[in-house]
Amino acid sequence: MKNYQQYADLFKALSDANRLSILDMLCKGERCACKILEKFNITQPTLSHHMKILSDCGMVNKRKEGKWMYYSISKTGGKTAIRMLKELSSVTENLKAKKCCDKDCL
């Protein structure tokens, strides 16, 4: 069974330009929140909000070291996103041949 809430959470995370920029930055390696914040014109609470969304959907891992929070890309998060896109964009052979309303739907 598909988890549509998981799809929605992932696409919500990927629908913001700042979050996409953060993911791009993290592709180059783990970063401390303070280093991420230096690159954006946002407040610390706004960064925390973005990172919570990215963490909650599984795209980002986080770890605390002392008073600092470090973030990195989750390998499983990217694989999940790819799997979801493949599932949502595939049409099975059954459906290609099926008619509805007495018309070819595809």
> Residue ranges per domain, the chain?
4-90
Provide the pairing of β-strand 103-104 with 99-100: antiparallel
User: What is the assigned CATH class of domain 4-90?
Assistant: mainly alpha
Question: For residues 82 and 54, what is the distance between their CA atoms, to the nearest angstrom?
Answer: 16
Residues in Cβ contact with 19 at an 8 Å cutoff, skipping those fewer than 6 apart:
13, 50, 53, 54
Selection from 82, 54, 81 nearest residue 69 by Cα: 54
The pLDDT of residue 61 is above 90: yes
End-to-end CA distance of the chain: 24
What's the average model confidence in pLDDT over 75-97? 77
- Give the distance, in angstroms, between the CA of residue 106 and the centroid of all CA atoms in the same chain: 30
The pTM of the full predicted model, rounded to 2 decimals, is 0.78
Give residue 91's pLDDT: 72
- pLDDT tens-place string over residues 72-85: 999 888 888 888 88
